[in-house]
RNA sequence: GCCCCCAUAGCCCAACCGGCAGAGGCAGGCGGCUUAAACCCGCUCAAGUCUGGGUUCGAAUCCCAGUGGGGGCACCA
């Protein structure tokens, strides 16, 4: 039937109608004076203002908004803020290209994205909006830096750092992916520079151990990625005397039990130790060493990362002394030992370490077995292999302990041999005992090492937070006094922002030349800026007092709102941002500003939006544009489509979903509100029972579904309810029935999670004032959740043979009797003997027979 | 090389503690409305849960092995 225009669902008109009303009401301002509701903090990872919103934003912010709206409907005062991660390289690159100010590019992008956000209608508290590129924000970034500096957590050191030749800046370890720059993809090289670091390794143990708290509320994938990244290994530091050198050399090993099997020592070719040892050797060795070092330096990181490459190295003609047995160990330099892990030197035990074995075989160095991996170990049940006839294969067929000829290192369990006092001990006992012996002799101790490196935070860029340090020839590093913060960025006008390997800030003469706050002499500002991950490491706290210019945040507000209850964002930050935030949170805890140690109580990673199975990109021509989808289908249909597509953490292929289908569903729901003819005062209890039960089942199930992120299932359940309501109107009790109104109201309340415009319009149509977003969900009536009749299944030998309509309160005996009386069941049993009857009243009877 | 996750109608996905494989959608089919088509409305179709074993009265669900797909770490001593 063609419908008159007044009855047509027009998403554009509904959006136009409600946006100004909502803005006027400021519905989502959190923390109002006198609000006594319990609180929730729901946070989306803040966006980088790259141009306009895209489908990825639509998905992530959609899920965040579902969560925020859900908690409001549960009666919470919800803090759901938004801001902009607005420092960073793209602004600078755009500025270089167009000769403009990065500021201008950034803030006009923000304005554009805000316009799109307005249409998309997430329930943000806009009064707390922040921009990390505002001096009002980065002032506190500098404050944070100074706090870390006071604690010795921020420090400067020289070293070989990751260098992106394209962006002309250094990178943190976390920003190098497979040897490539995480941002631009260029091959990363090494450069010797003095840079600022944060001592994240001091927190490595806590960062690792506290992951246990997040188990279950963070995606297990993220937890395991962080564990891998931190990479703790425990063992011992062992000190070796070096002939012709006063100081001992310390090496880290996870296998101190194999000390008697050490046959040589290897130092990282690019370490200062290698250079020093070579310098003390013959000129020929020095020449070899220099040649080798040059060849290693010429190799890219990519080559170095390749596995299975042959071992290379040079003998330094120097010797170390094994602290346990006094043996002389030749010292080699090689690139398979890393200068910045452990102590840049290792004891090589070729029999029990594959890398050492490969090296030993390449240079014909001795291999000595000290763990008998064929010996049975207590607590390990020996597996006795059998041959084809089932006869046990005799132990003399065990593989020989000969790694030198097999080429396979013996890394398994076993018992120590050829190891003096350790002989006969199992691997783990020998490790313990070896550490004791080292301790007693003062030549070693238990030690831990981490894969995690300190966080390099300096960047040779313009568009970032200036590091608040002044370099004075007489006083050295002098922190800018807190009262002089912020150290503002100079005007970009007149500055050459082109990458040239040093910060563009260094050329801003008037800015960089200052007087030393300490001695008043001539001094220079540090011209580097901070990694933008510093900005985002604590932004969740700034939202609590976004407009307070007297402090970074108020610990009392943190006490009220933080940590974040629900964090939503992409898995691409599994290590980077999330690790840094966890670290800074722990630092602020130690400084007494916070009373919790983990920033994000639970985390949801949304999947990606794909098109035809692959990532969308302009070059592939498979781009689905947010703006055009929004214009074509409207905000609500877009949001419903994304929520309904599947579990939020799964990728969504746009080819598999139907925004048109979502729009149809919304129109159906909306029309129901128009069909309702009863008044809001109608007595629910008079309504159709079957429809009422459906409404109350949804009320009962929706909270559990929402809290386990099963948004797609809630949408499906809404569709089910809408279908049932339609049927009740057309073919059942009719539009005047109280249950129809009740179902329509429940639909509006739950639909608000996904389709706020449609829900609001339904709500008004049903006779209520805005906003449905603030209405607490009703509690399900338990009386409506129990069925009058349930279907019990009767199985014979696990196969369904009959169904019985019974009362939900039926007794086991009664149900069994009914089942035995069934003709279908009797037929299925036939002549066979019944051996067992399992009764699970009221749902099931299973009759097991013999044969 | 090591570790982790996933596999259900043509497609996207549900299925509580192991208890009727189906909630919902897309696509398809039939019908109604329409001069006609679209929209809309109604009805309908479809898999035995990747393969092979095991545990169990009973397995999509638990265990083992394999296949296929996705991800993380990888010369870290």
Q: State whether the beta carbon of A659 lies below 7 angstroms from any atom of strand B.
A: no
Our CA dihedral for A474, A480, A481, A487, rounded to 10 degrees, sits at 150
DSSP-assigned letter for residue A350: T
**Which residues 6+ apart lie within 8 Å of A629 measured at CB?**
A55, A58, A638, A659
**Which residues 6+ apart lie within 8 Å of A442 measured at CB?**
none
Q: State whether the beta carbon of A834 lies below 7 angstroms from any atom of strand B.
A: no
Taking the C-alpha atoms of residue A698 and residue A691, their distance in angstroms, rounded to an integer, is 11
The residues of A between 24 and 63 with beta carbon within 7 Å of nucleic strand B are none
* SS3 assignment, position A326: coil
DSSP-assigned letter for residue A766: T
DSSP-assigned letter for residue A466: B
pLDDT band per the 50, 70, 90 thresholds, residue A2: very low
Distance, Å, A577 CA → B51 C1': 42
pTM metric for this prediction? 0.92
Query: Which nucleotide across the nucleic acid strands is nearest to A353, CA versus C1'?
Result: B77
Strand B positions within 7 A of protein Cβ atoms: 3-5, 11-15, 19-21, 23-27, 32-33, 38-43, 57-59, 71-77
The residues of A between 410 and 429 with beta carbon within 7 Å of nucleic strand B are none
- Predicted complex ipTM: 0.95
Say which range, A7-21, A475-489, A762-776, has the weakest mean pLDDT.
A7-21
Question: How does strand A154-164 pair with strand A189-198?
Answer: antiparallel
**Which residues 6+ apart lie within 8 Å of A142 measured at CB?**
A465, A466, A467, A468, A480, A485, A486, A487
| Per-residue pLDDT, A273 | 94
> Torsions phi, psi of A489, nearest 5?
-65, 140
Distance, Å, A539 CA → B5 C1': 31
Taking the C-alpha atoms of residue A137 and residue A144, their distance in angstroms, rounded to an integer, is 11
For A579-647, give the DSSP string: HHHHHHHHHHHHTTS-S-S-SEEEEEEE--EEETTEE--TTTT----HHHHHHHHHHHHHHHHHHHSS-
Give Cα separations from A247 to A242, A250, A253, A263, A267 (angstroms).
Answer: 7, 9, 19, 21, 15
Distance, Å, A624 CA → B49 C1': 33
The residues of A between 233 and 252 with beta carbon within 7 Å of nucleic strand B are 233, 235, 251-252
Instruction: Please say whether the beta carbons of A352 and A255 come within 8 A.
Output: yes
Kindly state the tokens that stand for A225. 């990625």
Query: Which nucleotide across the nucleic acid strands is nearest to A234, CA versus C1'?
Result: B77
pLDDT band per the 50, 70, 90 thresholds, residue A189: confident
Distance, Å, A29 CA → B66 C1': 56
User: Partners of A411 in the beta sheet?
Assistant: none
State which H helix or E strand residue A426 sits in. Answer: none
Residue A785 reports pLDDT greater than 80 = yes
- Residue that wins the pLDDT comparison between A426 and A597: A597
Taking the C-alpha atoms of residue A589 and residue A582, their distance in angstroms, rounded to an integer, is 11
Taking the C-alpha atoms of residue A427 and residue A435, their distance in angstroms, rounded to an integer, is 12
> Torsions phi, psi of A4, nearest 5?
-60, 150
- Give the mean model confidence (pLDDT) for residues A48-64: 92
Distance, Å, A819 CA → B8 C1': 31
Instruction: Please say whether the beta carbons of A669 and A725 come within 8 A.
Output: no
pLDDT band per the 50, 70, 90 thresholds, residue A376: low
| Per-residue pLDDT, A24 | 95
Residue A674: closest CA among A1, A2, A9: A9
The residues of A between 200 and 229 with beta carbon within 7 Å of nucleic strand B are 220-221, 224-225, 228-229
- Residue that wins the pLDDT comparison between A394 and A676: A676
Distance, Å, A398 CA → B49 C1': 44
The residues of A between 441 and 500 with beta carbon within 7 Å of nucleic strand B are 449, 451
- Give the mean model confidence (pLDDT) for residues A58-72: 96
- Angle at the Cα of A355 from the Cα atoms of A349 and A357, rounded to 5 degrees: 55
pLDDT band per the 50, 70, 90 thresholds, residue A826: confident
Distance, Å, A834 CA → B19 C1': 19
Q: What is the mean pLDDT of chain A?
A: 90
Distance, Å, A713 CA → B16 C1': 14
DSSP-assigned letter for residue A353: -
Q: What's the 3-state SS for A267-324?
A: EECCCHHHHHHHHCCCHHHHHHHHHHHHHHHHCCHHHHHCCCCCCCCEEEEEEEECCC
Residue A141 half-sphere exposure, CB side, CA atoms within 13 Å?
27
Query: Which nucleotide across the nucleic acid strands is nearest to A720, CA versus C1'?
Result: B24
Taking the C-alpha atoms of residue A709 and residue A223, their distance in angstroms, rounded to an integer, is 18
Query: Which nucleotide across the nucleic acid strands is nearest to A452, CA versus C1'?
Result: B76
pLDDT band per the 50, 70, 90 thresholds, residue A788: confident
Residue A395 reports pLDDT greater than 60 = no
pLDDT tens-digit series, residues A478-526: 999 999 999 999 988 878 887 777 888 998 899 999 999 999 999 999 9
- Give the mean model confidence (pLDDT) for residues A595-621: 87
Span between the terminal Cα atoms of chain A, in Å: 61
Distance, Å, A668 CA → B75 C1': 62
- Give the mean model confidence (pLDDT) for residues A392-414: 73
Residue A257 reports pLDDT greater than 70 = yes
Distance, Å, A393 CA → B52 C1': 28
- Residue that wins the pLDDT comparison between A619 and A795: A795
């Amino acid at each position: 039937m063609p419908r008159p225009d007044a009855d047509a669902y027009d998403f554009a008109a509904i959006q136009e109608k409600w946006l100004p009303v909502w803005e006027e009401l400021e519905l989502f301002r959190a923390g109002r004076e006198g609000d006594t509701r319990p609180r929730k903090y729901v946070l989306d990872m803040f966006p980088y203002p790259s141009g306009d919103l895209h489908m990825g934003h639509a998905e992530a912010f959609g899920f965040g908004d579902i969560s925020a709206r859900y908690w409001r409907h549960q009666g919470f005062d919800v803090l759901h803020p938004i801001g902009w991660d607005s420092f960073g390289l793209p602004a600078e690159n755009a500025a270089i290209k167009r000769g403009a100010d990065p500021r201008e590019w950034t803030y006009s992008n923000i304005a554009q994205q805000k316009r799109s956000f307005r249409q998309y209608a997430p329930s943000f508290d806009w009064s707390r909006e922040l921009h990390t590129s505002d001096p009002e924000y980065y002032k506190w970034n500098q404050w944070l830096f100074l706090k870390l500096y006071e604690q010795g957590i921020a420090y400067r050191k020289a070293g070989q750092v990751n260098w992106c030749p394209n962006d002309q800046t250094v990178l943190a370890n976390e920003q190098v992916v497979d040897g490539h720059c995480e941002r631009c993809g260029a091959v990363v090289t090494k450069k010797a520079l003095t840079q600022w670091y944060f001592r994240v390794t001091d927190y490595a143990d806590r960062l690792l151990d506290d992951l246990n708290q997040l188990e279950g509320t963070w995606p297990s994938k993220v937890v395991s990625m962080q564990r891998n990244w931190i990479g703790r290994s425990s063992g011992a530091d062992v000190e070796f005397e070096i002939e012709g050198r006063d100081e001992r050399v310390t090496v880290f090993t996870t296998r101190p039990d194999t000390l008697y099997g050490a046959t040589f020592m290897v130092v990282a070719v690019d370490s200062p130790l290698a250079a020093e040892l070579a310098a003390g050797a013959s000129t020929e060795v020095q020449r070899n060493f220099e040649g080798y070092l040059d060849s290693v330096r010429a190799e890219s990181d990519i080559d170095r990362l390749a596995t299975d490459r042959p071992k290379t190295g040079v003998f330094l003609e120097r010797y170390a002394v094994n602290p346990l047995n006094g043996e002389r160990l030749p010292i080699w330099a090689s690139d398979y030992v890393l200068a910045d892990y452990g102590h840049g030197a290792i004891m090589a035990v070729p029999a029990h370490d594959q890398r050492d074995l490969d090296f030993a075989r390449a240079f014909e160095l001795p291999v000595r077995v000290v763990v008998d991996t064929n010996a049975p170990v207590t607590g390990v049940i020996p597996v006795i292999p059998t041959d084809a006839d089932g006869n046990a294969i005799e132990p003399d067929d065990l593989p020989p302990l000969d790694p030198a000829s097999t080429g396979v290192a013996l890394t398994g369990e076993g018992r120590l041999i050829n190891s003096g006092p350790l002989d006969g001990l199992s691997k783990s006992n020998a490790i313990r005992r070896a550490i004791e012996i080292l301790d007693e002799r003062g030549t070693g101790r238990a030690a831990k090492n981490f894969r995690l490196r300190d966080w390099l935070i300096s960047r040779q860029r313009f568009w970032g937070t200036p590091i608040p340090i002044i370099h004075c020839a007489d006083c050295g590093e002098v922190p800018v006094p807190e009262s002089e913060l912020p150290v503002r960025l100079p005007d970009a006008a007149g500055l050459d922002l082109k990458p040239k390997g040093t910060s563009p800030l260094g050329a801003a003469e008037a800015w960089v030349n200052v007087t030393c706050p300490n001695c008043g002499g001539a001094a220079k500002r540090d011209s580097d800026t901070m990694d933008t991950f510093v900005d985002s490491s604590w932004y969740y706290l700034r939202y609590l007092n976004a407009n307070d210019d007297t402090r970074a945040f108020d610990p009392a507000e943190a006490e009220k709102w933080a940590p974040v209850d629900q964090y939503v964002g992409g898995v691409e930050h599994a290590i980077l941002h999330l690790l840094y935030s966890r670290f800074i949170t722990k630092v602020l805890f130690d400084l007494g500003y916070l009373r919790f140690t983990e920033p994000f109580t639970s985390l949801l990673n949304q999947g990606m939006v794909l098109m035809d199975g692959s990532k969308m990109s302009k070059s592939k021509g498979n781009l689905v544009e947010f703006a055009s989808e929004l214009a074509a289908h409207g905000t609500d249909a877009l949001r419903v489509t994304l929520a309904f597509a599947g579990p939020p953490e799964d990728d969504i292929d746009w080819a598999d979903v139907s925004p048109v289908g979502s729009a149809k569903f919304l129109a159906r729901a909306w029309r129901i509100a128009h069909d309702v003819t009863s008044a809001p005062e109608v007595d629910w209890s008079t309504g159709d029972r079957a429809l009422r039960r459906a409404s109350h089942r949804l009320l009962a199930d929706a909270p559990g579904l929402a809290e386990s992120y099963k948004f797609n299932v809630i949408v499906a359940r809404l569709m089910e309810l809408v279908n049932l309501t339609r049927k009740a109107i057309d073919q059942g009790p009719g539009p005047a029935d109280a249950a129809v109104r009740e179902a329509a109201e429940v639909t509006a309340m739950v639909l608000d999670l996904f389709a706020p415009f449609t829900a609001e319009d339904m709500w008004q149509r049903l006779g209520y004032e805005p906003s449905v977003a603030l209405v607490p969900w009703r509690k399900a009536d338990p009386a409506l959740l129990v069925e009058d009749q349930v279907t019990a299944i009767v199985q014979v030998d696990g196969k369904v043979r009959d169904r019985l309509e019974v009362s939900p309160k039926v007794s086991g005996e009664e149900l069994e009797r009914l089942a035995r009386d069934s003709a279908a069941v009797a037929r299925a049993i036939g002549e066979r003997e019944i051996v067992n009857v399992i009764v699970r009243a009221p749902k099931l009877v299973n009759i097991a027979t013999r044969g």
